Amino acid sequence: MTATLTAEVLIVDDEDGMLRILGIILERAGFKPLFARNGKEALDAIKTYRPGVVILDDMLPGGITGGDVCARVKEDARLCNIPIIMHSAGVKIQSRSYLREIGADAALFKPCHPTRILEAINGFLAVGA
């Protein structure tokens, strides 16, 4: 699957390997990946770039979790329409009540096949088109 436009997708993860892998997958699919390694960087990047989609790890260093980032974005009227896909190996993202609480639009459990990630991204971008 390829993007019809070069949409920016923010990848938020503290693992360099995961950032590289997802970056390559997204570039090959025609997206422009943006990167953040913690909650503060994620919030700054979301406010600055307003990406088409955010892929967000729940377990981040620095005191601001992915869930915190998601909830803050969804509470901000200027940012709340940005789709957020939680992407984590943590068990919290398997809880529908947790996902509702933070306002996540979708969740993918790590490890996740690249096709599923691209399908999720394309699904949100097609809705917004």
What's the whole-model pTM score? 0.92
pLDDT the model gives residue 1: 44
Residue type, 120: A
pLDDT the model gives residue 3: 44
Percent of the chain with pLDDT over 90: 90
18, part of any domain = no
37, part of any domain = yes
pLDDT the model gives residue 64: 97
Chain segment 66-101, per-residue pLDDT in tens: 999 999 999 999 999 999 999 999 899 999 999 999
Domain that holds residue 83: 32-54+66-112
Alpha-carbon distance of 125 to 2, in angstroms, equals 11
9, part of any domain = no
Buried b (16+ CB within 10 A) or exposed e, 53-82: bbbbbbbbeeebbbbbbbbbbbeeeebeeb
Chain segment 50-67, per-residue pLDDT in tens: 999 999 999 999 999 999
Percent of the chain with pLDDT over 70: 93
In DSSP terms, which residues pair with 9 in a beta bridge?
Answer: 33, 53
46, part of any domain = yes
User: 16: number of CA atoms within 13 Å, CB side?
Assistant: 0
- Residue 43 sits in a domain whose CATH number is 3.40.50.2300
Which residue shows structure tokens 């991204």? 121
128, part of any domain = no
Domain count along the chain = 1
Contact 86, 68 (CB under 8 A): no
14, part of any domain = no
Residue type, 78: R
2, part of any domain = no
